[in-house]
Amino acid sequence: MSPVTIAVALTALALLIGATFLWRRALLFALPFLAALNGVPLSIRGSQMRVDQLAACLLCVTLLAAVIHGRRTLRTDATTWWLAAILAMNAISSVLNSPTLGYSLAQCVNLASAWSLYVLVINFIESPRELALFLRRELQAASIACVVAILAFVLAVVGLNLGGAEVSASAATRLTAAYGAFGTLEEPNILGSFAAAHLVLAVALMTARHDPEMELPSPLLLRWVAGTAGMALLLSFTRAAWLGAVFGILFAAMLRPRTTERVARRTRMVLPAVAVVIVAVALVFSPGDTGALLRFKLSNLVNLESQTAVVRALVYGLAIDQVTTHPIVGWGTFTFAPLVAQGVDFQQFTNWKNLWIGNYLLLALHDTGVIGLALWCGMLWSIIARALRAIRALRTPAPGASDVTLALTTAVVTMLIPFLATNGFSLGFPWLLIGLLGVSARRAATESASAPAAAPLVPQPADAT
């Protein structure tokens, strides 16, 4: 790089940091919209960076500066330390065993930038009103992303493919690529996971009780999110995401059975549900590749011998075979593709991104060994356990906050299912939802001391709504 280029880059960076200090709050509440753009990265000198990663890095600078100057105390919790341990394990395994050390360490930085969104949310969201505002922004961003994906699919089907959907005959008949809508998300599987989580979140929030300290999302917004997310979920053609949405709703029903029964009877759910069902039926009976693929997906919903399942089994088998070489600490961050390429520059292949492990548990085992897998399982268990404790602790002093925590918990649980088929934990949007859950857990910790003993989660009292 020439001195002029370096000077220009440093000046631009200084201006960005200065703008972040001035408009930190605006950038913070823009994170849900930026995280929904993970399929539209910035290109910087041949490398790609997601806009939410850039925003997270800038906000981390402001957070660090505030901590150093004593204006803010850095908040950490159990999830923060689990993430730090997992990141350290990724770095250690990469240094010890990665065949492409520079690439693996760069991916460690990539993971850190995504996971830092969790740290930013639990540090900058300080009050119930801010949590409610961020939650509304999350739902608004989800609705926009889903609408864009739906429009992209419709335009592509009628022959005006502007991007944001894969509807080629080869993808539908030979499964050469993931068929379906994805909009501004990275690919159909990611859109499916994103839509499933926000569909379940919106449905669960429809029964949230009033909280004087929080302004909950309006019923109109919740209905709109439920309808658009349900439609986007259908058009993603992602079976794992469909199953995840069903599991999330069943999880909510297990925790609050009476309230879930009332949700099914509420008329405000009828319109979005009917719209999604009509579109689904129309697609199922439509001629052509789209209808044939949807019928295939539905008829093979849990078929472990379908074509895509067989391909995944082959990839997983190869990954497990590689694990046997370094079972304790793993091969290093995202080393599956370099190992398959056997010394060839795998990034020169046209479809090299298909050489990846789409399962967060197997990915943890492959990259960081048994130690890393144990850390991941411990972190996920800790997140859900803390959430359930928060639901109990908030039920009496703040029933509305308890309901919001339950809704966020079901959204997070929903993502755990489709991420077994496509790992989205390297992206930003899951950590925003998990971060909001962490904020709810912090509120529960501050109120539980003065609250009366909480009732068990199940069964729910008959008069609770």
What is the pLDDT confidence band of residue 464, given thresholds at 50, 70 and 90? very low
pLDDT of residue 397: 86
Same domain, 95 and 181: no
Q: SS3 of 42, please? A: strand
Structure tokens at 76: 């950490």
The answer to the question of residue 16 being in a domain is yes
Last residue of a domain, one of 264, 299, 334: 299
The answer to the question of residue 459 being in a domain is no
Q: Taking the CA atoms of the chain, what radius of gyration do you get in angstroms?
A: 22
The answer to the question of residue 460 being in a domain is no
Whether residue 113 contacts residue 7, with contact meaning beta carbons closer than 8 Å, is answered with no
The answer to the question of residue 462 being in a domain is no
Neighbours of 156 (CB within 10 A): 19
pLDDT of residue 425: 94
User: What is the percent of the chain with per-residue pLDDT over 90, rounded to a whole number?
Assistant: 49
The predicted model gives 404-412 an average pLDDT of 94
Same domain, 200 and 105: no
- How many whole angstroms separate alpha carbon 246 and alpha carbon 81? 31
Last residue of a domain, one of 59, 74, 89: 74
Same domain, 295 and 313: no
Per-residue model confidence as pLDDT tens digits over 162-186: 888 888 877 767 766 788 899 999 8
Residue 5: domain span: 1-74
- How many whole angstroms separate alpha carbon 258 and alpha carbon 270? 19
Same domain, 330 and 287: no
The answer to the question of residue 465 being in a domain is no
Same domain, 168 and 274: yes
- How many whole angstroms separate alpha carbon 82 and alpha carbon 270? 41
Task: Domain count for the chain, please give it.
Answer: 3
Same domain, 289 and 363: no
Strand partners, 48: 43
